[in-house]
Amino acid sequence: MKIIEPSVELAEDFDGAAVMKKLERAGRVCYKSEVNITADSAEKFLRGVIKRGHESVIEHASVSFKIICDRGVTHELVRHRLAGYSQESTRFCDYTAGKFGGELTFIKPCFWSEDDENFLLWKETMARLEKNYFALRQNGARPEEARSILPNSLKTEIFMTANLREWRHILKLRTDKAAHPQMREIALKIYKILVEKLPALFDDIRP
C-alpha cells in the first residue's frame, strides 16, 4: 500500500502575456476599440471587463491540468460541466499489474495528522481493502468487478481542460472555506498556478 499527497501539474505551459493580448483582441471587437491596443494595454482592459462582469471575453483561452487526487474529489470536479475530462479508469486498470507496482495507492486525507486515531483507523481500512481487492483478483474477479470495493480515497489521475471563465467560476466555489477540505486543497493548487500566470484574471479571487 502506498499513501501519497495530491498534486496538480500544468499540462502545457503558456505565455500569460500572449494569452492576455489574444483576449484583449477578442474583447475589443465588442466595442470596436481595436485602435486602442498598445504594447501594455491588455491588463488594464481585461481587469475592466472582469470588473464589469463581461467575462465571456475570457472564454477564448483554455488551460489544462493533470490532477492527482482521490476519487471523491473527482466526483466533485466532474460536476463542472463546461470542461473536458479524461480520467484513469478503475474498470480497465488492473492494479495487480506490474506497472502499478503491485499495490494500491491512496491519497492522504488532509484533515488528519498521521498520529490522529482517525488517520490510523483510515490507514487500517485502506490496507484491508487492498488485501481484499487482490484476493478478489486472485479468485478470478475481473478488474471491473473487483473495483466495487475500491474507496473514495483511491488515487486517481484526471486530465481536465476548461476555459478561463469556467476556471474563475470553479475557483470561486472550490477555494471557499465552505468547500470540502480535499476539494479545496486541489483548488488552491490550481489557483496558485493561474494567479501567478494570469494575475489580471485571477487575483480578484481571494481564497
Put simply, whether the predicted model's pTM sits higher than 0.85 gets the answer yes
Q: Residue 49 is which amino acid?
A: V
Residue 173: what pLDDT? 98
Q: What is the pLDDT of residues 97-116, one digit of tens each?
A: 999 988 999 999 999 999 99
Is residue 157 a contact partner of residue 66, using CB atoms and an 8 Å limit? yes
CATH of 1-12+62-207, one of 2.30.40.10, 3.40.50.10320, 3.40.50.720, 3.30.1360.170: 3.30.1360.170
* Mean pLDDT along residues 155-166: 98
Q: What is the pLDDT of residue 128?
A: 98
Positions marked active-site: 174
Domain residue ranges of the chain, discontinuous segments joined by +: 1-12+62-207
Position 101, amino acid: G
In three-state form (DSSP H/G/I as H, E/B as E, the rest C), the secondary structure along the chain is CEEECCEEEECCCCCHHHHHHHHHHHHHHHHCCHHHCCCCCHHHHHHHHHHCCCHHHHHHCEEEEEEEEEHHHHHHHCCCCCEEEEECCCCCCCCCCHHHCCCCEEECCCCCCCCCHHHHHHHHHHHHHHHHHHHHHHCCCCHHHHHHHCCCCEEEEEEEEEEHHHHHHHHHHHCCCCCCHHHHHHHHHHHHHHHHHCHHHHCCCCC
Across the chain, mean pLDDT equals 97
CA–CA distance, 135 with 95 (Å, rounded to integer): 12
- Burial class of residue 54 in the structure, from the number of CB atoms within 10 Å of its CB (0-12 exposed, 13-18 middle, 19+ buried): middle
Q: Give the per-residue pLDDT at 79.
A: 96
> Which string of b and e fits 10-36 if b means at least 16 CB within 10 Å?
eeeeeebeebbbebbeebbeeeeeeee
What is the sign of the dihedral through the CA atoms of 160, 79, 189 and 157?
negative
Taking the C-alpha atoms of residue 121 and residue 5, their distance in angstroms, rounded to an integer, is 18
Across the range 194-202, mean pLDDT stands at: 98
User: Mean pLDDT, to the nearest integer, of 172-189?
Assistant: 98
| Closest by Cα among 16, 62, 52, 59 to 31 | 52
